Amino acid sequence: MTRPAPTCDPAVATLIEWFAADGADFPWRRTRDRYAVLVAEVQLQSTQVARVVPYFEAWMDRWPSACALAAAPLADVLGVWQGLGYPRRARNLHLAARQICASGWPEDDRLTELPGVGPYTAAAIRCFADGAPVLPHDTNVARVLARRFPDGWPGTPDGAGWAVGQAFMDLGRAWCTARAPRCESGCPLRSGCRAADAGLVLEVTPPRRRQSRFAGSFRQRRGFLLRELTADGAVPIDRDVEAAASLVADGLARAVGAELMLPERP
Ligand code: SF4
């Protein structure tokens, strides 16, 4: 258990102690392996935690290392990903695993050179695998910071990078939520929260992009086409020209004559 230093900001110390006592247990929190953290972070992008757990466990059972994933055919990777949505993430994860397996991990400040790894995921690898004192900034973290630390983050104590980062994830997901913050229902940071004191919690919340409906959407059509492609290896482009063009643009398929194929098929 990480214990805060005596000089630590009181709110930060409270956050660390609260997480040590009440932090959620997820399979990706039982490892500090960079590859496992990368898999979890990519799966968690745009997908709820509860849905990700069985996918993460199945994925790690099947491909426990970057080199194991690198050796897998793309069709298998896309097949196992089915149901998580946004399959471009799987394609990028596969490409990243190949890069890592062939050349090793990039330097810390060049993690974003891996396919599909942006500043958030790079920071998450540093924080959740390496324990570095960096806060991966997603919408949850941005919201908690805006509400509870409007003067800026007071600083992460030595050795507490992982615990602080995970505590922020729990707090933002289950307590300091966008629409129903639990300020008066046991929030560990209620004491000293000026937004809650002033009744301005929702007002200081950064705006969030709305996600469009899936049923009947273009995303759904793309999903249908990719599922067929993964199962059959090839489909006629005119089955859905627009969706086919989108899959090609995302590197998930290629056009060969009048057919759509997976990028790796001969
Ligand atoms: S008191 Fe409310 S606004 Fe402040 S950190 Fe807790 S849940 Fe968020």
Cβ proximity of 5 and 162 under 8 Å: no
Compute the distance from residue 40 Cα to the ligand 1 centre, in Å. Answer: 27
Query: What are the tens digits of pLDDT across the range 186-233?
Result: 999 999 999 999 998 887 777 766 666 767 788 888 888 888 888 888
65 lies in which domain range? 33-129
- CB of 188 within 6 A of ligand 1: the answer is no
111 and 48 in a common domain:
yes
User: Could you read off the pLDDT of 160-183 as tens digits, one per residue?
Assistant: 999 999 999 999 999 999 989 999
CATH number at residue 107: 1.10.340.30
For residue 204, tell me if it sits in a domain.
no
Is residue 154 in a domain? Answer: yes
* Whether residue 137 sits in one domain with residue 125: no
**Residue 75, CB-side half-sphere exposure with 13 Å CA sphere:** 12
Mark whether 70 and 151 lie in a shared domain: no
Catalytic residues: 41
Are 123 and 137 within one domain?
no
Q: Work out how many domains the chain is built from and give that number.
A: 3
111 and 77 in a single domain? The answer is: yes
pTM exceeding the 0.75 threshold for the entire prediction: yes
Residue 146 belongs to a domain with what CATH number? 1.10.1670.10
- Ligand 1 pocket test target in 140, 148, 191, 197 with most atoms within 8 Å of CB: 148
